[in-house]
Every structure is written in C-alpha cells, then in structure tokens.
Structure 1
Amino acid sequence: MYQPAITGHGVFTPSQSISNDELVVAFNAYADRWNAAHQAEIDAGEAEAIGHSSSEFIFNASGIERRYVMNKSGVLDPDRMHPQLPARADDTPGIMAEMGVDAANKALEMAGLSGGDIDLVICAASNHERAYPAIAIEIQNLLGAGGFAFDMNVACSSATFGIQAAADMVRSGSVRRALVICPEICSGHLEWRDRDCHFIFGDVATAVVIQRDEEATGPHFTIQATSCATKFSNNIRNNHGFLRNAHDQMEDRRDMQFMQNGRRVFKEVLPMVSTHILTHLADTGWEASDLRRLWLHQANKTMNDFIGKKVLGRVPEEGEQPNILQDYANTSSAGSIIAFSQNSEDMQPGDRGVICSFGAGYSVGSVLVERA
C-alpha cells in the first residue's frame, strides 16, 4: 500500500468576467421587455410580472460580487441571456478539454511532472458537453498521458469523489500518478432569466495531481482519509440530457436547466455536511481543533459560515475558512479546489485541513489532508 498525496494543483480562470452591476442591467432589461410583451396576461392575472434584480439582492443572498465566464456578450444580451459558444469541429479540442488542459498543465508544473508521467485522468464535473467519447479521454490524448481515463459526475461533489477514486487507486498501486480535472462551464446550464438564480454560477477549471508521497519532489499534502456519501433528493436538479430532443414538447421546459429549492437545500444539506465532516474526523482519530483550514464548496457564504461554525464549535477566525465566492461565484465541483489552491501555500508541515464539497444528489465528499 502506498501513501497518496496531492503534489500539484492548478486553476484555469476565463479572461472574461461579469460584475453584479453588469448582470443586473442585462437582467432588468430582459424583465422589462418580457413584461411589456406579456402586459395583457399580467393585467388579466394570467401571468406574473418579472421583478427587477439588484446588486444588493445578489450580494445579500449569496456573497457573490462577480463571476468569470467563457462568453460574456451572450449572457449580457437581453434578447439572448445565455453564452454564445459556437459548435466546434470534431477534430478540434472541445471547450471543456481546452479549459481542463490549461488547469492540468499548471498542476503538472507544480508537481514537476509532464503529461506523459500520468497514468490516470478523471474528468469530474457537474455537466459534460457530450455523452461520449469521454472528455477525460480527450484530455488524456491532448496531454500525452498514458493509462486510462474516464468521466465522473456527482454534481458539485465531483471533485472530492474524483479525489477519493484516484487516491484509492494510487494507494492500492493500480495507478502511479493521477490527474483529477474539473472543467466547469456552469454558464451553459444556468437559467440567466430566472431572478432567483440568475447570479449563481461562473465558469472555471481546476486540476490536482495525486501520486505516491514517496515520489513527491516538492511541498505537498498527504491524503490521510477520504469519505463520500449520497442521499437522493430532487431539490437540486437539471433534466437536460441526451433525451432532450426526443420529444418536441420538452424544448421549452424550465427544468431543462438548473433548478433549486433553495430553502429546502439549506435546511437539509447543512446538517448533512457538518455531521459528515465531524464523523469523518472522529473516524480518522482527528479533532476539529486539529484543523487549521476548511476548504469548503463555494455555493453560498451563509451556508459556509454555518458549516464552519458547526464543525469548529465556534465562529471561524480570519483565514480558517477561505471564501472565493465573491470573485468566482459558484463554480460547482471546482469551488473547494479553487479555495484550496489559493489558500494553502502558507500551511506548515503538520498542518491539517479538510477539503469538502456538497451539492445535488444530495452528495457530500470530504478529503482530510496534512502538509508534508
């Protein structure tokens, strides 16, 4: 048995970003146009007028100030309100592969490795641009990696589930070096015309290298334990899939994009996550007081503040529970890895932390790491 370790990590950040103010201008213009076009139905009580959004509403509801996207102009066009991403030829890299390779190369450079050193690639994301061939195999090919590759989808928990799968294979010796890549193009499955959720998501890609601790050539984090759990719920759902075009009547269904019952999610997920982390710590022989840092899924600042307080038994101190929501928004599975990547260099040998993600499913995954 081998000790798995995270030896490299990287983040691809799109060049385009949308501030709350910019998003609100576009959304309110769309709302005004829709209300004007449906004034008769609104007056007759057959339809509800769409209310305006505001930057204050967005920040108070989420803690988000801006988000990165792969296409800004399409999202901000009141007549379109979704990204404009032209179809690519089959012999050119897909958009998820392009994003993933950028993050992977940064992680490989940190680990002192090249693509040819990798023998497992997992593409773990909440949505994939196609059913097959696997995005992971495309990334494997572009990197010149060996071994094998596969896609994984556990929604916002995909990263931690992917890390557990890779760490288990490194630990057993079935693979030597792995990449877990999370290319999240969340702008493509968000309903930007829905006031309740139009501000939630952004685009990004992350990557982590996992290999044997004994082969690490620089500072790294040993993976001391992993734990994953799922419990079925419809409170976060996206019905888009390969059956979408099987029936014409499905084309205009609102549930073909991101849907969420936010209040029920808040009520049901938070106890699940905090209990999961505390149980995982106890099973590993760790105490909450052992943790120097919590790198949590970046969905909502209020949710993270609640979880941090429950796990630590007190309000987290400055830096103990870093948030990147204000800059990146919710990036699904990538959020906890961005937080880890941007807030781990100051950790000293022996310092401990937990990477935790949670979301649709319901799903929750935690990774206990120690600075080597």
Structure 2
Amino acid sequence: MSNIVISGSGLFIPPHTISNDELIEAYNAYVEKFNADNAAAIEAGDVDALPSSSSEFVEKASGIKSRYVMYKEGMLDPERMAPVFKPALAGDEPETVTMAIAAGREAMEQANKKPEDIDLVIMGTTNHQRPYPSAAVEVQQKLGIKGFAYDMGIACSTMTFAMINAYAALKAGTAKCALVVNPEFASPQLNLKSRDSHFIFGDVATAVVMELEDTCTADYAFRVLDTKQMTTFSDNIRCDGNYTDHNFSGDQLPEDRPYFRQNGRKVFKELLPLVTGFITEQLGENHLEASDLKRMWLHQANLTMNMFAAKKLLGREPEANETPIVLDEFANTASAGSLIAFHRHKDGFESGEKGLICSFGAGYSVGSLLVEKI
C-alpha cells in the first residue's frame, strides 16, 4: 500500500485587521458608558461594574497582538459590539464556503492537482453556519470536484481530525486524493463585551491536499508516518447556542449562550498535561523523542501554553523555529492555528527530517500527525 502524503497547503487571510489597541479602545468606551448608565445600580450593589482593559493585558495573557476578520464594521462600535454582515439566505454563499474555496484552490495549486484529480472533500470547522445542505458539498460543487464530501467538527482539533479522516479514507482505498478545507469564521462568536474573551479569536481558512505518494507530483511534500487522536469530556470550553434556541423565550436563555466561554485556569491546568503526555506517547510509539523533530506546528491558542508544552517536551527552552508562533498576528483561529503554522513554516526541511502537526482544545480533544519530508 502506498504511503499517504500532504502534497499542498493553502491559506486564506480575510481582508480586515484589528489591532489590540483598536479593540481595547472600543471595549473601554463600552465599559465607560455601561458603568455611567448603571452608576446608581452599581452604587447600590445590584450590578457589578465592568473592568477596563489594556493592550498590555491582552498581550501578556495570550501573546495576541492582532487578528484578521471578515467584517470589521460594528466590532469597534461601542453601541453595537458585534460585526455587521448579512445573513446567508437560501441561494447565498456562506462565508465559510467562500473562505474554504480560496484556501482549497491554493492547496490544489501547490499539489499540482486539478478538480478531476480529487475525489474526496472534507470540510472541518468549529462553527457550521447551517446544518444542511452540507457546506462541504457546496465547496465540492463549486470547485468542480466529483466523488463525495462531508462536514465535520470537533472544535479546536477539527482540522487534524479531518486530516486523519482523509488519511484513513486514502489508506482504506475509498478515496485516491482528498482536499481538506478548514474555514474558521470565529469572530461572530466573540463576546466583545467580555474583558476575558473579547480579544481571543480571528478569522482564517486553511486547506491541505492529501494523496497517495505514488501519485504525488508536488515539488515539496510530507509523508504521514503516524496519526493519533484522543478525547476526554470537559465543559471548560463551551458554546451552547444551537438550533433549538428559537423555541425558548429570551428569559429562559442566558445572554452569553451564543458566545464562546471558557475557564482558562482549569483549561491550562487540565489540558496541558494531557497534550504533553499524548505527544510523548505518540513519539515513543514511533521510537522517537521530541529532539528528533525538526519542528512542531502546535495549536495556536495561547503563547504561554505553547511555550510550556514545548519546554516540557524538549526539556529546554525551544528555539523560535522549533515551535513557530503565528497567534501574535492571527490570534486564536480555533482549529486552523497549527495548519497556519505549518503552511507558513514548512520550508527548510531536508528529506527524512520529521515534524509534528498537533492541535488541542475544546472537548477536550487532541489530534496529531507525525510527518516526514519526502
């Protein structure tokens, strides 16, 4: 059986940027107005005053300096604190489809693949804009691809899990060449009125082409040596908004229901040991150590988490090129972060040199692919 390779990758970057300074200016203006409007209730102890924030706090807490978004209008308006855009109605192309197509085309070009060469499309995203019809099938149709397509999601590990699904299909012979697309339209899920989370997400899309090594004609490709997945339930990272919400009156549902929420301290304490143990176990199963890897393309949620994990695995402070960071520019892009890092920092490998693509987060979930430059 032929080996499976990643023969191309793609990246779609949205048109707008928002710096920490811009975000904080809008947030603090909202806070000032809220506290002024509710001064009497705050004085009486009936309402909690909202705390102000700073760019320094955001960068220290997360490592994030800026983010890309599909729609900037409204996000910096203290009277709105939400992006302005039109709903995708019947016949309209959802943002996730637009983003996926753009990233997919770049991946196909890198892989020297035409639509007729591909027979599987998997669209993995944290936030699906509609339950059905499948957005993956729409991407498939608009790219002119035959075969079959489907949507999937497991929050922060969606892209690695989708790639592992593609790997399994290729190994099983149910597909010969797969396009995996990963649009993350995350900014609408931000609660821009929350000091603890308003800065976290940005929008982006990534994509990869995976195929049999025998059919690969790309100039630069990586062989998949091993895959590994793990889940264990936790609600420390969650969003509860869903298709049943219209059945309930407003006072039955909490105001923050549609938004991302997390208990950051518990996530750090519980998830990082899972991740470092998981990676150590996978490397051991392949008779490798972290020092045998040229590069680790890790999930991009928090700089401190990444540095902690890398130091734990390597037994020393990592060099910048060993665990490349993109979250300073892109913010947390849900499941796309490790693939942005891979796309941006996959060059410079010699044949036989190894790397690890790993994502982790909500679920809890961890997914990784051990790869080797062919």
What TM-score comes out, normalization by structure 2 length?
A: 0.98
Aligned to 2:30: 30
CA distance, structure 2, for counterparts of residue 238 and residue 167 of structure 1: 29
Aligned to 2:207: 207
CA distance, structure 2, for counterparts of residue 255 and residue 86 of structure 1: 21
CA distance, structure 2, for counterparts of residue 285 and residue 195 of structure 1: 45
Task: Determine whether 1:20 maps to 2:20.
Answer: yes
Aligned to 1:277: 279
Say if 1:2 and 1:170, in contact at 8 Å, map to a contact too: no
Classify the secondary structure of the residue corresponding to 2:8.
strand
Displacement of 1:245: 1.3
Aligned to 2:362: 360
Deviations 1:258-292 (A, max 9, x none): 01000000000000000000101111222222100
Task: Determine whether 1:347 maps to 2:374.
Answer: no
List alignment gaps of at least 5 residues for structure 1. none
Q: How does 1:150-229 map to 2 (within 5 A)?
A: 150-218=150-218, 219-229=220-230
Classify the secondary structure of the residue corresponding to 1:222.
strand
Aligned to 2:244: 243
CA distance, structure 1, for counterparts of residue 149 and residue 261 of structure 2: 30
List, as ranges, runs of 4+ consecutive aligned residues in structure 1 with deviation greater than 6 Å: none
Task: Determine whether 1:263 maps to 2:265.
Answer: yes
Task: Determine whether 1:297 maps to 2:299.
Answer: yes
Equivalent residue letter for 2:231: T
CA distance, structure 2, for counterparts of residue 114 and residue 77 of structure 1: 44
Displacement of 1:362: 0.3
Displacement of 1:300: 0.2
Deviations 1:111-166 (A, max 9, x none): 00122321111111111101111111111111111111111111010011001100
CA distance, structure 1, for counterparts of residue 158 and residue 357 of structure 2: 12
Classify the secondary structure of the residue corresponding to 1:198.
coil
Equivalent residue letter for 2:288: W
CA distance, structure 2, for counterparts of residue 331 and residue 299 of structure 1: 7
CA distance, structure 2, for counterparts of residue 193 and residue 88 of structure 1: 25
CA distance, structure 2, for counterparts of residue 59 and residue 119 of structure 1: 43
Equivalent residue letter for 2:318: P
CA distance, structure 2, for counterparts of residue 244 and residue 33 of structure 1: 30
Query: CA RMSD for the aligned pairs?
Result: 1.0
* Count of equivalent residues: 372
Displacement of 1:92: 2.9
What TM-score comes out, normalization by structure 1 length?
A: 0.98
Aligned to 1:66: 66
Equivalent residue letter for 2:270: E
Classify the secondary structure of the residue corresponding to 1:255.
coil
List alignment gaps of at least 5 residues for structure 2. none
Say if 1:190 and 1:198, in contact at 8 Å, map to a contact too: yes
Say if 1:2 and 1:173, in contact at 8 Å, map to a contact too: no
Deviations 1:289-347 (A, max 9, x none): 21000000000000000110111121111310000011000000000000000000111
Q: Quick one: percent identity of the two aligned structures?
A: 47
CA distance, structure 2, for counterparts of residue 117 and residue 35 of structure 1: 59
Task: Determine whether 1:134 maps to 2:138.
Answer: no
